Amino acid sequence: MSSDLTFKSIAELAVLLEAKKLSSVELTQATIARTKAVEARVKAFNSFDETDALAQAAASDARRTAGQARGPLEGIPVGLKDVISVAGQPLTASSKMLVNFVSPYDATVTRKLKHAGAVLWGRLNLDEFAMGSSTENSAFHTTRNPWDLTRVPGGSSGGSAAALAAGEASMTLGSDTGGSIRQPAALCGVVGFKPSYGLISRYGLIAFASSLDQIGPFTRTVEDAAITLSVIAGHDPLDSTSFKTELPDYRAELGRRNGPWRLGIPKEYFGEGLDPEVAAAVQAAVEHYKKLGCEIKEVSLPHTKYCLDTYYIIATAEASSNLARYDGIRYGHRSKDAKDAIDIYFKSRAEGFGAEVKRRIILGTYVLSSGYYDAYYLRAQKVRTLIRQDFLNAYKEVDALLTPTTPTPAFKIGEKADPLAMYLCDVYTIGVNLAGLPGLSLPCGFSKSGLPIGLQVIGQPFKEAELLSIARAYEQAHDWHLRHPNLL
């Protein structure tokens, strides 16, 4: 099978599968072959099971033959970030703490993918416990950017972005706490979509910061993102933060919404630190929307300057609480050198967690501690409300916002040793999580050195259909998403 097959969109593959011009087994075999050809250099996966994937594919073909195909994901190989539970499969969060852990149950998104007939293919690498922006914090290995193997793929969902960009899966899922889907999507030249908080169940997702975490897809096209969203979105009683809302057919809505739209340009997102090549590519995208008849208006999000501080108080506080369960007692890594119960706690956590995870636990514990809670955590929650209100005020004047996804294209592995320099990589994405909004990154150009650049479209709460349509309007007029890295 040609490697071209592994770069086709879900929509294209579904047509071939439906017409019986391609079987799921053939597609899965091609995906496995592609993975074996490039994975030694890309290092996107933590693990995969060829036998299991081929068995799923054969079952899919049998359903199709019997006239029982389950939908547009029937027979499509899908990779999952290694924080999303799949019963009987490893669930490591790329941490020594969970190196031998096997999930006893399916996440809700996993169950929905299975119900839709998808072939679940492999566990994808990430920054440990989803804490990082480069996938250099994985306890196992550093994933590399398929466009330049000396550079990072972004993070924390770097394995998910790199696997898709390298042709090792037809769609992947990641999680986004402060940009962890959109940032790697931009650096790897694919579409990355973080829906509104509460639209997709978090049940079965290893928690980092529960009020910020959101599962979402990496896809080749905006249409594929719409297809996937229709499968995995929806209220779930197993997730207390899941939101009850009417779900449109997102793919069908793409054809019904043609603009023109009122689009806002936040002035705070185009200042110091923005790479000139990124600024030029995003500005060219803005000009394209003008040609489509869209009204372009500069808006202000005045509390943007507080986003980074607010995020790293709230996220670390919630991480400190969530990661307290990894104590060496119930499950996960237990130190062999411990002499008593207290020793087990100290040594198991010291050995099991990496440096960045420890840094965030310590910071989060501090801001929640007696005497500091009001000064830090409570105040951060109040500022978070102001940040959300900034966005809602802007949406009184515009339908969506256009911004860069990242300040720069992909940087060299090892380049950002300073934690603060790494945190600044998410400066354009964290506000979306704090406000609970939907955000999407799509390719909008390349740097002179051949690295992808991403455009971020930020939508109104639970107006994913409109957001997807706005992004599709740009994508249809450009071929950035059709370009693929040359790894062979």
Question: So what's the pLDDT on residue 258?
Answer: 83
CA distances from 361 to 133, 136, 205, 406 (A): 17, 18, 19, 26
* Catalytic entry in 9, 24, 43, 81: 81
Per the listing, tokens 């709230």 go with: 314
Residues across the chain: 488
The three state secondary structure string of the chain is CCHHHHHCCHHHHHHHHHCCCCCHHHHHHHHHHHHHHHHHHHCCEEECCHHHHHHHHHHHHHHHHCCCCCCCCCCCEEEEECCECCCCCECCCCCHHHCCCECCCCCHHHHHHHHCCCEEEEEECCCHHHCCCCCCCCCCCCCCECCECCECCCCCCHHHHHHHHCCCCCEEEEECCCCCCHHHHHHHCCEEEECCCCCCCCCCECCCCCCCCCEEEEECCHHHHHHHHHHHCCCCCCCCCCCCCCCCCHHHHHHHCCCCCEEEEEHHHCCCCCCHHHHHHHHHHHHHHHHCCCEEEEECCHHHHHHHHHHHHHHHHHHHHHHHHCCCCCCCCCCCCCCCHHHHHHHHHHHHCCHHHHHHHHHHHHHHCCCCCHHHHHHHHHHHHHHHHHHHHHCCCCCEEEEECCCCCCCECCCCCCHHHHHHHHCCCHHHHHHCCCEEEEEEEECCCCCEEEEEEECCCCCHHHHHHHHHHHHCCCCHHHCCCCCC
* Catalytic entry in 95, 156, 157, 175: 156
Question: So what's the pLDDT on residue 3?
Answer: 61
pTM above 0.85, yes or no: yes
Question: So what's the pLDDT on residue 488?
Answer: 78
CA distances from 99 to 2, 332, 345, 405 (A): 35, 8, 17, 32
In sequence order, the 6+-apart residues with CB closer than 8 A to the CB of 50 are 32
Supply φ then ψ for residue 225, to 5 degrees: -65, -40
| Residue 154: alpha-carbon gap to chain centroid | 10
Q: Is 170 a known active-site residue?
A: no
Domain range list for the chain: 3-258+472-482
Question: So what's the pLDDT on residue 255?
Answer: 81
* Catalytic entry in 24, 95, 175, 180: 180
Extract the residue ranges of the chain whose pLDDT is less than 50: 1
Q: Is 300 a known active-site residue?
A: no
Per the listing, tokens 């899919």 go with: 60
Question: So what's the pLDDT on residue 451?
Answer: 98
Distance, CA of 484 to CA of 124 (rounded, Å):
20
Question: So what's the pLDDT on residue 1?
Answer: 40
Q: Is 156 a known active-site residue?
A: yes
- Per CATH, the homologous superfamily of domain 3-258+472-482 is Amidase signature (AS) domain (3.90.1300.10)
Residues 306-348 have pLDDT tens digits of 999 999 999 999 999 999 999 999 899 999 999 999 999 999 9
In sequence order, the β-bridge partners of residue 412 are 151
